[in-house]
Structure 1
């Protein structure tokens, strides 16, 4: 997945500019983003503070790591079941 050129802190700052009363089109033009990108960010980060965004990122990373561990454990379990079901 392509990395954003903006960090979570910068994204939240951009959203706060628009919440402060500036027009969405002006904010998008100034930062060189499309309005679709802006609204996608607003759906994901709207109402968050910087500390909350960092915590969200940490939780997403931990969730991905745990999903990977679960998939590996399920694969190991399936291999063991297959081995034990065969007659020697």
Structure 2
């Protein structure tokens, strides 16, 4: 059994691979040959289609940036909420 190392793809690479897959499928290649040439699994290809559907590479890159910014802001809000809760707890005690 060969264990392949997982590879992370940039949004631009994903959009390019999706275009290549569509071109090969339209040219008459079977799905197995397309998946093998792109070196991805069928589930990965379907997940990419669902997420990056008809996007251009700039749009996919912008989406990834917005998701990262959203994740960072959510973490910031969680940290500030925890700080606020601790300060309220300390302020409520009689010193």
What TM-score does the superposition give when structure 1 sets the normalisation length?
0.86
What TM-score does the superposition give when structure 2 sets the normalisation length?
0.80
Matches within 5 A, 1:1-88: 4-20=7-23, 21-22=26-27, 23-88=30-95
Superposition RMSD in Å:
1.6
For structure 2, the 5+ residue unaligned runs are 1-5
Distance 2:14 2:63 in 1: 14
Distance 2:8 2:70 in 1: 24
Question: Relative CO higher for 1 or 2, CA cutoff 8 Å, sep ≥ 6?
Answer: 2
- Asked whether the 8 Å contact 2:21–2:38 carries over to 1, the reply is no
Runs of 4+ aligned residues of structure 1 deviating over 6 Å after TM superposition are none
Closer, same or farther: CA 47–77 of 1 in aligned 2, 3 Å: same
Aligned residues: 86
- Asked whether the 8 Å contact 1:15–1:42 carries over to 2, the reply is yes
For structure 1, the 5+ residue unaligned runs are none
